[in-house]
Chain A
Amino acid sequence: MSKSNAALDGLLQREYAAGFVSPIETDLAPKGLNEDIIRLISRKKNEPDFLLQWRLNAYRHWLQMTEPAWAKIHHPPIDYQAIHYYAAPRRAAPAKHLDEVDPELLRVYEKLGIPLHERAALAGVAVDAVFDSVSVATTFKDQLAALGIIFCSFSEAVQHHTELVRQYLGSVVPVGDNFFAALNSAVFTDGSFVYVPKGVRCPMELSTYFRINAKDSGQFERTLIIADEGAQVSYLEGCTAPRRDENQLHAAVVEIVALDAAQVKYSTVQNWYPGDENGKGGIYNFVTKRGDCRGARSRISWTQVETGSAITWKYPSVLLRGDESVGEFYSVALTNHFQQADTGTKMIHIGRNTRSTIISKGISAGRSSNTYRGLVKILPRAEGARNYTQCDSLLIGSRCGAHTFPSIEVRNPTARVEHEATTSRVGEDQLFYCMQRGLSAEDAVAMIVNGFAREVVRQLPMEFAVEAQKLLGVSLEGSVG
């Protein structure tokens, strides 16, 4: 290999910066899953009976289901009885104010660069922090409440906004939707809840930060976002976990409902621990994210930058029910070392004149495998539906793989569906060109990769875009050899 590649190799051995473990006392349920554990979770959270029954129903569905085998990923069997389904920081009982939060927990978030103190927070970003299974702090709650916006932990919503939860929970992703969604429905412990009332534009970004800390625990959070008629909201999600040799399971569900003319923009920067350079450890990320454009002229937009996890299995989708509704999916998935990503989207066109856009950028390095899997489905009633899909793959080195599985089903002759795809390689000539101008090899790779991902990263809110750009550079350490 050339010297420029050797320089890249050296780079790559940078450590996962969020990999520390925090010494926080944890309340753990015994390992394993059965109806008693589910009752325990429900009791711990003081849930109404309908929710317990809903969980048990999901659990009974799950027992009948098998893990999906169609994704292009490989892993040893997951022992669902070896996981703690409930882990909560002991002193983090719901805090009304930040000064009631365990200072050790606040230090964790400071270390991660997530400011939970409102005065220190970035202007215009409200944060809900979820640590293991429990939401520990939500900022800017009062300011939002003045506009009628509800932004709180899921547990709190269950207590104080029970009817909204009862009405919308599972209405986009039903309990039996798929194996991992059923599991989540049975055991989810917390997450975020957002309701934006009619005609209200949320004046700040809402953000949830997920952190897995406890060993042998899974994280199963549930997010529900409801934008009432004409409402607008932008929601951000970030995630990290400690470095551990064992794989940890993360199976989340996100449901979004957009009523008439509502707009929801959901952005993710996913940086779960990806495992080490030999493929040991890392998060198994099996996530179901789906938006329902229930109202006419509504719009749901997913933007994701996926750099972490040993395995990513994730297809943020949009059901385009309302006439003239719009679905968007902008994705960058970067895999290095032995990471495996099988990610993409589903755009289901049900209403008339519905439109969807899919821009997917896959970056593969090391010995990783990066798959785009997408479905564009135009149902018979979807007169005049349109989809544009662009799928680009960038390869770094010669031992990685990029795969594309686009499915298109059109049942209405007036629909227009376009698909474009490219595959390219970070060329030695591009690297040399940048190095001849004085850029280090790592800066050159980061710049080339960011150029490739730019169309997607520019969709992110400013602070996240900067973080995402850095992350793309860091995640490629040691990528060529």
Chain B
Amino acid sequence: MNRISNAAQRAMQPLLAVRGLHAGIDGKPVLTGVDLDVFAGEVVALMGPNGSGKTTLAQVLAGREAYSLSAGQVQFAGTDLLSMSPVERAREGLFLAFQYPVEIPGVPNIYLLKAALNAQRRHQGLAELDAIEFLQTIKQLLRELGLDDKFLQRGVNEGFSGGEKKRNEMLQMALLRPRLAILDETDSGLDVDALQAVADGVNALRRPDRAFLLITHYQRLLEHIVPDRVLVLLHGRIVATGGPDLARRIEREGYAWLQCATQSQGVAP
């Protein structure tokens, strides 16, 4: 994909700009001053060991109330993200693919998909799709993702395998066409085929006006989705920034070599 030069980046306003973000849960600080930018058109990988704050960052950006914010600002497409409700954030094009998509028994998948798309369309001042128009749209996407039509009538994630749940997240993402998609460990627990399907889903949606923040433990997802930049989160802050090579080094050496460098900024790989 089109790698954006540093100079070009500086000239553009970031789609997502996080500054000095401190957040915690149950009185325990987790994020201790996160700074990061994501530009339109980019795929940014966010890596870090367990407990480094990756999921907290994703949930805070999506507006989960359980987390408390103590300091920092977040701009999304030029507006103050933290003052927006979770629903507004979603309708403005911030999408979170959950690490553990929840089951909603008895609600056919198609209900949620249609309600979500039409909520977004109303927000954008567009006419809602009727049942027939919606069915055409969603069936096209099912074909592209290699999913059976039966998928639509099953309860939302009800009795889905791990791989099916993640594919469902990709289906929702493809339908809602977000400006910023945050994928929270979408690769965890997937077999090779499911991983490839997720990667195909992301790659097919890469566009100059859309950005991805891929949260992952492992380099293996990045074999399939080549990121523009790799960031490392450790002890609640970004401690390293680099290209795909940074991910490979972490795969080889782990995070230990970064532990001693947490105080320095932007360690080169």
Contacts and interface: CB of A to CB of B under 8 A. Distances in A.
Contact of A429 (B95, B102, B106, B176): B102
9 contacts: A432-B64, A432-B65, A433-B101, A435-B85, A436-B89, A436-B95, A438-B119, A448-B107, A451-B106
A438 B87 contact: yes
B112 A434 contact: yes
A435 B90 contact: yes
A438 B106 contact: no
Interface string A439-458: 11101000110111111000
Given A433-B98, A447-B107, A438 B112 contact: no
Interface residues of A, number: 27
A142 interface: no
A447 B104 contact: yes
A439 B115 contact: yes
Interface in B196-233: none
B14 interface: no
A437 interface: yes
B56 interface: no
A452 to B, nearest CB: 6
Given A430-B102, A433-B102, A439-B119, A450 B107 contact: yes
A438 B96 contact: no
A441 B101 contact: no
B102 A438 contact: no
A286 B55 CA distance: 52
Given A4-B65, A450-B107, A441 B87 contact: yes
Nearest to B118: A438
Nearest to B89: A436
Which of A3, A434, A441, A455 is most buried by chain B, counting CB atoms within 10 A of its CB?
Answer: A434
Interface string B51-83: 000000000001111100000000000000000
Contacts of A438: 87, 90-91, 116, 119-120, 123, 176
Given A439-B87, A440-B87, A451 B105 contact: yes
A441 B172 CA distance: 19
A439 B86 contact: no
B119 A440 contact: yes
A441 B87 CA distance: 8
A435 B104 contact: no
A2 interface: yes
A443 B90 CA distance: 15
A437 B65 contact: no
Given A3-B65, A438-B90, A447-B111, 15 more contacts: A2-B66, A3-B85, A3-B86, A4-B86, A436-B86, A436-B96, A438-B91, A438-B176, A439-B87, A443-B119, A447-B104, A448-B104, A448-B107, A450-B106, A453-B106
Main secondary structure of the interface of A (DSSP, over half): helix
Given A2-B65, A2-B66, A437 B112 contact: yes
B243 interface: no
Contact of B172 (A428, A437, A452): A437
A432 B86 contact: yes
Contacts of A447: 104, 107, 111-112, 115
Contacts of A441: 87
A447 B108 CA distance: 10
Contacts of B96: 436
A94 interface: no
A436 B90 contact: yes
Interface of A: 2-4, 7, 427-430, 432-441, 443, 447-448, 450-455
A393 to B, nearest CB: 13
B112 A435 contact: no
A448 B102 CA distance: 12
A427 B90 CA distance: 19
B205 to A, nearest CB: 16
Contacts of B107: 447-448, 450-451, 454
A451 B155 contact: yes
A439 B104 contact: no
B64 A437 contact: no
A441 B119 CA distance: 12
A443 B106 CA distance: 15
Contacts of A433: 98, 101-102, 104
Which of A2, A427, A429, A451 is most buried by chain B, counting CB atoms within 10 A of its CB?
Answer: A451
A443 B120 CA distance: 13
A452 B106 contact: yes
A455 B108 CA distance: 12
A400 B107 CA distance: 24
A4 to B, nearest CB: 6
Contacts of A439: 87, 112, 115-116, 119
A344 to B, nearest CB: 21
Contacts of A455: 106
A454 B172 CA distance: 23
Nearest to A3: B65
Contacts of B62: 432, 436
A167 B91 CA distance: 64
Contacts of A448: 104, 107
Given A4-B65, A432-B64, A437-B116, A451 B87 contact: no
**Lowest 9 A-B CB distances belong to which pairs?**
A451-B106, A451-B107, A2-B65, A437-B116, A438-B119, A438-B90, A454-B106, A438-B91, A433-B102
Which of A433, A441, A448 is most buried by chain B, counting CB atoms within 10 A of its CB?
Answer: A433
Contacts of A440: 87, 119
Interface in B112-148: 112, 115-116, 119-120, 123
Contacts of B87: 435, 438-441
A79 B172 CA distance: 58
Contacts of A3: 65, 85-86
Contacts of A4: 65, 86
A234 B65 CA distance: 48
Contacts of A2: 65-66
A437 B176 contact: yes
A436 to B, nearest CB: 5
Contacts of B119: 437-440, 443
Contacts of B106: 450-455
Nearest to A448: B104
Nearest to B97: A436
